[in-house]
Structure 1
Amino acid sequence: MNAPHQRAYVWQHSSWPAWEYDSEVISASLTQARLQQGKVLGKAQVIDMSGDALTQVVNDIWVQEVLATAAIEGHKLDFDQVRSSVMRKLGMATAGPSPRHVDGLVDVMHDAIQNFSVPLDFDRLFRWQSALFPGGTSGIQRIEVGKFRTCQDPMQIVSGRPGKEVVHYRAPDSRQVPQEMAQFLAWFNKPSEIEGIVRAAITHLWFETIHPFEDGNGRVGRAIMDMAIAQDAQSAVRLYSMSRQLQENRTAYYDALKAAQTGNLDITPWIDWFAKQFALACIKSERIIDQALEKAAYWAKHVTHSFNARQRKALQKLLDAGDGGFLGGLTAEKYCKITGVSKATATRDLSHLLQQEALVVRGVGKATKYYINVSGWHQKGSDEGAIV
């Protein structure tokens, strides 16, 4: 007797898209995820929900999420531009300029969370994808924007050099996409009894499996994932760093997606992995909340001190880097680069910050290094570039 034919991808299965999973197998991971989520929510409730501390938390998480969801696709965005765009979206008056493609990504992510109760439809998804490519190009290549892909060639995810490409996944043909997306959106918009984290995991996998756009599928797919998480929490406040967690485990993320998109429709391993990542994302959010409280306490301590704009910019840079995020400490040369001033002005500014106890100093002469004066910070960690 011949063995049954092994289908390459889940969408080729006769039961597609009837996803299956073992609730008992994933129960431990889901319990841990909910436990960590509860800790985040508890800490968020401790701080004034309308105060500066929570605003700082939301801002920090937003910035990291925007940077991360772009980085997963290999796009490195400028930290300051992202921060300015996020601040403007959150209504903070000190926001600076930012380019259209950064604003577009922030707009998409904001709409997914802020309007989580508004049903998804084709038009909204088209506007999201268009916002990612304001010039109608990806790099210098013209792409289809504001509509589902129509290309005749197979939509494939590949790696490797030309001539030696490795195909990791092939999505349904373009002519199938409208019907596939209509089925997905009907499921997504319908009230569901599925456990919220499980639903978010299925949501992201299902969308990425269809891969409906010529480009931007990852960023749009993670926005829909965020929307599902917001629907579960019934909250428009972004308190979780899920894209950052996926970016830090990018290889495992792609491997988990690939495994779930291949073979049968049992996605128990994918949901289990996703729940564990959500738990880890919550742990990182806890740390962001802690750091925001530390930043708020720092500025409150120095509220009566007269720092100029240059000094505030440098101090904010150090605070944004976090404990140990500015390897080697701040030097006069680095201060010049951050603020654009001369060495003499940098020396005067730094001396004033030392007098105000805003900084602490280590070393002498050319070995002089300055660190932010936050109690409990060890000032050890990764390269300075980590802050961007």
Structure 2
Amino acid sequence: MPQPRYIWQLPDWPKLHFDVAAASPVLLRARERQGQVRGMARAIGLDEMQNIEREVWTHEALATAAIEGERLELAAVRSSVLRHLGQADSGPYSRHVDGLVEIMQDANAGFEQPLDADRLCRWQSALFPGGTMGIRRIAVGRFRDHEDPMQIVSGLPGKEVVHYTAPPSSSVPREMEAFLAWFAATTPRRGALPPLDGIARAGIAHLWFETIHPFEDGNGRIGRAIADMALAQDLGAPTRLYCLSRQLLADRRGYYDALAAAQVGSTDVTGFVQWFADAFGQACNRSMDLIQDTLDKSRFWATHAQQALNERQRQLVRCLLDAGDGGFLGGLNVDKYLKMAKTSKATATRDLSDLVQRGLLHTSGQGKALRYYLSVPGWTHGREESAPA
């Protein structure tokens, strides 16, 4: 009889467990960073907090799609986020983008509602309006039922490498019933000692769901929404402060490797819990950076609120702020601005000189080496000197 290759083929599946003592140090570090994020959030006002949550939500939506190789339009994501926050917006609309944002909203704000098969199927259906992905038809609103193996594959046709094979479609309903029962049984209750560390639970939930891979498509995005829901349940409140998907995207290879290693190991998933807790801690670091970045942007606009900028200048400043400190490779010069603004060289030079005189930009270098940088306190733009020239 062949030896089991994947954890779902083991006799003790799905009894996933971990060594609490071994995982405790990294879980404690993650908790400390989580506390630092919450401390930063408490130290700022409600208006600023709303701006920060909007930015985190926007970038998390972009990241969870990018992990799957899908590039979403920033403007469409921002517009959808604003609408889901109840703020009027006339930006571009995409049913596909709106479906993803709606899932993230439901997982976070609806963390107290039961997670069941119907809810998951509605999430998956929202990802594929019209039942297609590009021109390919997708089975939506139901668990997969095809007879072909569900496999994670890479490589060119004829040279494919199979990284993982999920349980057969016929067993998915039973597998999901066990998963959802565990998720419900381990949900933290108010006033009661949690049966499982909340960060570890979020990691195990994500691993378990991805191991089943119950849908024909969309499993990664839904699995990350489940992890976000588990983290909100751990906190006991909806929050969009944690940049988990951004961290997973930044270490996408490590993320895939950690899942793959756990899926071919044993039902002792200590290694994955440790990896996930460390990733969550790094996500908290990203959150603190984003909070500071958002505060920098808000203060910049407040400082220059009385400046009467033309639309080209305003769009340029927004672009530079979105790029962040050092994010605009090589700095801005006239030629780059010409391509962005699609205007004459004389107008571009006049716009930039005006922004320098008003104090929104400062310069470095001369002649062809002249570069323009946002005058944001603390931003170095990758250079040793940060003071205006």
Q: Please indicate the TM-score interval, normalised by the length of the shorter structure.
A: over 0.9
1:16 aligns with 2:13: yes
SS of residue in 2 equivalent to 1:86: helix
Alignment counterpart, residue 63 of structure 1, candidates 36, 58, 61: 58
Which residue, out of 246, 249, 257, partners 1:247? 249
Question: Could you tell me which residue of structure 1 aligns to residue 386 of structure 2?
Answer: none
Distance 1:93 1:301 in 2: 25
User: Which one-letter code corresponds to 2:218 in the other structure?
Assistant: G
Q: Secondary structure at the match of 2:158?
A: coil
Indicate the residue corresponding to 2:355 in structure 1. 353
8 A contact 1:21–1:268 mirrored in 2: yes
Partner in structure 1 of residue 86 of structure 2: 91
Change (3 A) 1:58 1:340: farther
Picking from 297, 300, 303, the partner of 1:298 is: 300
Residue of structure 2 in register with 1:159 after alignment: 154
Task: Please give the residue correspondences for 1:179-328 in structure 2 after superposition, counting only pairs within 5 Å.
Answer: 179-190=174-185, 191-192=187-188, 193-328=195-330
Query: Following the alignment from structure 2 to structure 1, what is the Cα–Cα distance between the partners of residues 345 and 65?
Result: 36
Please report how far the alpha carbon of residue 57 of structure 1 lies from its aligned counterpart in structure 2 after TM superposition: 1.4
Q: Secondary structure at the match of 2:376?
A: coil
Question: What's the offset of the Cα at 1:60?
Answer: 2.0
Pairwise CA RMSD? 1.7
Matched, 1:80 2:75: yes
Corresponding position of 2:125:
130
CA 1:95–1:236 in structure 2 vs 1: closer, same or farther (change >3 Å)? farther
Displacement of 1:273: 0.5
Q: Give the structure-1-normalised TM-score.
A: 0.92
Which segment drifts farther, 175-184 or 356-365?
356-365
Please tell me the residue identity of whatever aligns with 1:167.
V
4+ residue runs of structure 1 moved beyond 4 angstroms? none
Give distance in 1, aligned partners of 2:8 and 2:79: 41
State the Cα distance separating 1:316 from its structure 2 match.
Answer: 1.4
How many corresponding residue pairs?
A: 376
Structure 2 SS opposite 1:295: helix
Distance across 2 between alignment mates of 1:198 and 1:350 = 51
Consecutive unaligned residues of structure 1, counting only runs of 5 or more, are 382-388
Aligned partner of 2:32 among 35, 40, 61: 35
Preserved contact between residue 85 and residue 95 of structure 1 (Cα < 8 Å): no
After superposing the two structures, state which structure 1 stretch, 339-348 or 28-37, moved more.
339-348
Aligned letter for 1:264?
S
Instruction: State the alpha-carbon separation in 1 of the partners of residues 156 and 347 from structure 2.
Output: 50
Structure 1 position 5, deviation (Å) = 6.2
How many Å apart are 1:94 and its aligned residue?
4.7
Q: Which residue identity is paired with 2:222?
A: V
Which SS does the other structure have where 1:80 is aligned?
A: helix
**Structure 2 counterpart of 1:99, which letter?**
S
CA distance in 1, matches of 2:51, 2:375: 19
Q: How does 1:342-381 map to 2 (within 5 A)?
A: 342-380=344-382
In 2, Cα distance between equivalents of 1:354 and 1:263: 59
1:54 corresponds to 2:49? yes
Whole-Å separation in 2 of the counterparts to 1:88 and 1:139: 25
Corresponding residue for 1:384? none
User: How far has the Cα of 1:37 moved from its partner?
Assistant: 0.5
Counterpart contact for 1:88–1:95, Cα < 8 Å: no
- Structure 2: stretches of 5+ with no match in the other structure: 189-194, 384-389
* Partner-residue secondary structure (3-state), 1:212: coil
Given that 2:75 and 2:92 are in contact with CA atoms closer than 8 Å, whether structure 1 keeps it comes out as: no
| One-letter code aligned to 2:40 | K
User: What secondary structure, in the 3-state scheme, does the structure 2 residue paired with 1:329 have?
Assistant: coil
Contact 1:149 1:174 survives alignment (8 Å): yes
The one-character-per-residue Cα deviations of 1:185-212 (angstroms, maximum 9, x if unpaired) are: 1221233511100110111001001100
C-alpha offsets along residues 159-181 of structure 1, whole Å, 9 cap, x if unaligned? 12222222111111111111211
Compared CA separation, residues 128 and 332, structure 1 to 2 (3 A): same
SS in 2 for 1:101: helix
Letter in 2 for 1:375: P
Deviation at 1:140, TM superposition (A): 1.7
Partner deviation per Cα, 1:217-244 (whole Å, 9 max, x = no partner): 0001101111111111122120011111
**Structure 1 residue aligned with 2:107:** 112
Native 8 Å contact 2:325 2:382 kept in 1: yes
Which segment is superposed worse, 363-372 or 19-28?
Answer: 363-372
**3-state SS of paired residue (1:221):** helix
Residue by residue, what CA displacement relative to the aligned partner does 1:86-114 show, whole Å, maximum 9, x if unpaired?
Answer: 23323343551132211211111121111
Q: Determine if contact 1:359/1:373 at 8 Å carries over to the other structure.
A: yes
Q: Secondary structure at the match of 1:371?
A: strand
CA distance in 1, matches of 2:135, 2:30: 41
Matched AA of 1:96? G
Deviations 1:121-166 (A, max 9, x none): 2222111111111131122211101111111101111112222222
Shift of 1:330: 2.0
Contact 1:6–1:263 (CA under 8 A) maintained in structure 2: no
Write the distance in 2 (CA, Å) between the matches of 1:67 and 1:318.
19
- Once residues 336 and 135 of structure 1 are traced to their aligned partners in structure 2, the CA distance between those partners, rounded to angstroms, is 40
Distance 1:85 1:332 in 2: 33
